[in-house]
Amino acid sequence: MEKKIITIRDNIFTVPDNQEVFLLEHIKSASARPTLNIKIGKNARVQYVCIIESYGDGDIKQKRVIDIEDGAQVEGYQAYFGQGNSEFHIDNNLGNKSVLNNQVLFYKNKEQHFKVQDNYTFRERGASGNFRVVGLVDDQANIQYYSEIIIKPQAQLTDSRIDMQLHLLSSQAKGKLIPGLKIDANEVKAGHSASTFHLSPEDLFYLRSRGLNEQQIKSLIIDSLAGKFTKGISDEDVREVILSLIKERIIL
């Protein structure tokens, strides 16, 4: 699979029809170009990894529109890290018999505010997708993540599901996961779930009795979830970048 690192010179990036490509987008600062439209050509095979981090106190606000043409297959990975407040809007548009399997991992701590609106719009027949969100929230961070499947009237015989997990790692951390379905077709499969997990006093007591302190316990949880997230990424260097970034954030 050819590896391409996206350098944003304008607001549109296109993968030609029938191409097999690994795309890497790495947003490193609040001054990054705020909007991008990625067009995936017919019958293309794409793995798209987007790593978002920001430094300093500047807020970051980004929008992505991903158009997946007929027969294309996309594996998406979004990893959200960084400091400061951030807001993202992602629109995924699926064509006829296209496939999108998308995973999201975010880690927020300190007093960060984080908001995402993630839409999956099925426009044509026979498309399918599985969408998974895993969030880690520590300290006094506050997150809101909205993820919605939208099925248009002509998008019959589609199959889709959203699964969301939120891990609150401190008593002051706050979070809201809201999956949604908007279905205007009658021959479809669609579903969603959302779960929130807390480190209970009983869990902490048990793990401390095994010689672990609270920071080590959190690190074990974060490392485990990050390892599962990166497992499917085909490029080893990119996997290591994501794991290194999350380890840096743990000790900040």
Does 236 fall in a domain?
Answer: no
Domain assignment of residue 225, yes or no: no
What is the average per-residue pLDDT within 237-247?
90
The set of residues, in sequence order, having a beta carbon less than 8 Å from that of 160 and lying 6+ positions away, is: 120, 122, 127, 128, 129, 130, 131, 149, 151, 188, 189, 190, 191
Domain region containing 192: 2-199
Distances (CA, A) of 187 to 73, 130, 151, 183: 22, 18, 10, 10
Question: Would 24 be classed as within a structural domain?
Answer: yes
Asked whether residue 205 is assigned to any structural domain, the reply reads no
Mean pLDDT of 183-196: 95
In a domain, 89, yes or no: yes
Tell me the pLDDT band of 31, cut-offs 50, 70 and 90: low
Within a domain: 228: no
Residue 194: its pLDDT value, please?
95
Half-sphere exposure of 181 (CA within 13 A, CB side): 16
**209 in a domain, yes or no?**
no
Q: Of 165, 119, 113, whose CA–CA distance to 139 is shortest?
A: 113
In-domain check, residue 237: no
| pTM of the predicted model as reported, rounded to 2 decimal places | 0.90
Closest CA to 78 of 23, 129, 160, 20: 23
Instruction: List, for residues 137-182, the tens digit of each pLDDT value.
Output: 998 999 999 999 999 999 999 999 999 999 998 889 999 999 999 9
Structurally, how many domains does the chain consist of?
1
